[in-house]
Chains A and B, each alone.
Chain A
Amino acid sequence: MLAQQFVSGIVIGGVYALIAMGLTLVYGVLRILHVAHAAVYATGAYVGLITFQRTDNLWLGLAAAAVFCGLFGVMIHRFVYGPLLDQPRIVPLIASIGLFIFSQDFLRLLFGPYAMSFPASVPFGLLELGDAVIPGRQVFILAVTAVLLALTWYVVGRTRLGLAWTAVSQDAETAVAMGVNVPRVVAFNFLFGSSIAAIAGILVGMHYNSVYPAMGEMPAYKMLAVVVLGGLGSVPGTVVAAFLLGLVETLLVGFAGFVLPRDAIAFVALIAILLLRPEGLFGRSDA
C-alpha cells in the first residue's frame, strides 16, 4: 500500500515538474508569472486527445500537442507579453490571467463543458515492483516524464543555449553585451516550456482518463506553489519541489485523507514555506 502510494506520488510529482518547468523558464528570464501557461497545458491535452481520436496514434497526439502548444507559447510571448514588457510587472500578470480565463472559455465553446475520456492504450503492461503493482498507463507516464526531465536537464545544464538562459536570468543586460540574442532565448523558452506542458496535459488526461476545459485551473495555482517552493527561477529547485509536493499530497491523502482535501495541501505548504523561508526551499537568500 505504501509503495503504491509512493509510485502514485512520483507520477503526480513528475507531472507537476513538467508543468512548472515552463513557468520557471519564463520567470527566470522575464520575471513574469506566466499564469496562462496552465491554459497551454489544457490546450495540449485537447490537441493530443483530438489527434488521438482521429488517428488512433498516441505518439502522433503527443507530437501534435507539443508542436501546436510550442507555437501557442511563442505567440503568447510575441503578442501578449512582448508589447507589455516596459510596463510594471503587474500588467503582464493581469494580461496573463485574462488570457488564461479566455482560453478556458474558448476550450469550453469548442469542445463543450463536459469531461472527455482519453481511452489511449499504451505500449506497457502491468509492472510489478515488490509490493507495488503499477498499471501500464502509469509506467508510460513515468517513462515519458523521465525522458522529458532528462531532456530539460540536458538543455539547461549542458548546452550553449542553456548557459545563455542561466546568464540572462542572472543579468540580462550583461548577457546582451556578451552577444546573447535575448529575444531569441526567451522565444525558445516559451517553445520548449509550452511543448513540455502540452505533453504534461496529455499525461494528466490519460492518468485521470478525463480532459475538460477547466483542467488547467488547479495546476495553475499549484505550479505557482511549486515555483515559489523551488525558489523562483531555479530549475533544479522546481523539479525537487514538484516531486516533494506530489509525494506529500499523495501520502497525506492516502493516510489522512479526511483531514485536508488534496488540493489544499499545496497551499498550506506554500503558506508555511513563505512564512519560514521567503526565498523558497532552494532559493538563494542573496538573489
Chain B
Amino acid sequence: MLEVRDLHVAYGEVRVLHGVSLTVQRGELVAVIGANGAGKTTMMKSILGLVTPDAGDIRWNGQSLMRVPPWARAAAGIGYVPEGRRVFPGLTVEQNLRMGAYPVRNPREVQAGIDEVYALFPRLAERRRQRAGTLSGGEQQMLAIGRALMNRPRLLLIDEVSMGLMPIMVQRAFDIVKSLHEQGMTILLVEQNARQALAVADRGYVLELGRIVLAGTAAQLQSDPRVQAAYLGGGSGGFHDGRPRA
C-alpha cells in the first residue's frame, strides 16, 4: 500500500535520512521506533510532502507520490496525527474536525464524520464549542486523532502519540491506536516509546541516525537483545519513556 524506497533527506547541509526503505501493507500496524533525532518525524513529513527528499521514491498504491503536491496527499487518503498534536489552537473542537474533513465537499458527509468522532470520543462532544488550545493534552490527542479520521483515510500516519501525555493517558492513547487497527485501519506509527509501540504493532523497524538498522515482526524485535538493551530498558518495570539508555 505504502512503499518508501531509499529515501534521502537533508536540511541544508545536515543530512537526516540516508536511504530509508520500508513498506506498509493494507491492514497492518507498522511501528518505527527510534530515539529523538533519529529522523522519524522527517520520514513522516516526507511521506506527507511537507519536506522534499533529495533522492528516493515514495509509492502509494503503486503510484509515485513525488509529483503529488502535499495538499493533494490528504485527498489521496493519507491521514496524519502530527507530533505534539498540532491542533489549531484558536479554532473550536468542531472547527478542527471540519478542517480534518477539508477535502470532503459534501456537508452531510462531514456532519456524519463529526458524529462518528463524537461517538468515539464523547469527551470531544462535550467540548465541541471550546477552543482547542484550552483542552488538556489527552483531549488534544483525541482531537488530533479524530481530526485525522474525518477524511476517512486509508492510511493513518501517527507521530509520537504518547509524547507529553500523563502515563495514564499514554495507555489510553495506545488503546485507541490498537482499537483503530482492530477495526481494520492501516497505521504507520512512529514512536519513542518502543515498549508500547511494539506491544500493539504487527511489524516494526528500528531507525537509528537516519538508517533502518533492524526490521522484523513485533515479536522478533521485542525479543532481540539489541532492541531490549537500547529501547526496552532490559525489561525493568515501572514507568518508562522509551529513550535509549546510554
Contacts and interface: CB of A to CB of B under 8 A. Distances in A.
Interface of A: 160, 163-164, 166-167, 170-171, 173-182, 284, 286-287
Contact of B103 (A179, A182, A286): A179
B107 to A, nearest CB: 9
Contacts of B102: 160, 164, 178-180
Contact of B74 (A160, A163, A173, A177): A177
B82 interface: yes
B195 interface: no
B99 A178 contact: yes
Interface in B48-63: 48-50
Instruction: Classify the interface of chain A: helix, strand, loop or mixed.
Output: helix
B72 A179 contact: yes
A179 B88 contact: no
Contacts of B49: 176
Contacts of B176: none
Interface in B73-131: 73-75, 80, 82, 86, 88-91, 95, 98-100, 102-103
24 contacts: A163-B98, A164-B102, A166-B91, A167-B91, A173-B50, A174-B80, A174-B82, A174-B86, A176-B48, A176-B50, A176-B71, A177-B48, A177-B50, A177-B70, A177-B80, A178-B80, A178-B99, A178-B100, A179-B71, A179-B72, A179-B74, A179-B75, A179-B102, A179-B103
Contacts of B40: none
A163 B98 CA distance: 9
Contacts of A180: 71, 99, 102
Contacts of B99: 163-164, 167, 175, 178, 180
Top 7 A-B residue pairs of the complex, sorted by shortest distance between their CB atoms: A179-B74, A179-B103, A177-B80, A174-B86, A179-B102, A181-B71, A170-B88
Interface in B175-218: none
A179 B89 contact: no
A180 B102 CA distance: 7
Given A166-B95, A170-B90, 8 more contacts: A164-B102, A167-B88, A167-B91, A170-B88, A179-B74, A180-B71, A180-B102, A182-B71
A237 to B, nearest CB: 12
B46 interface: no
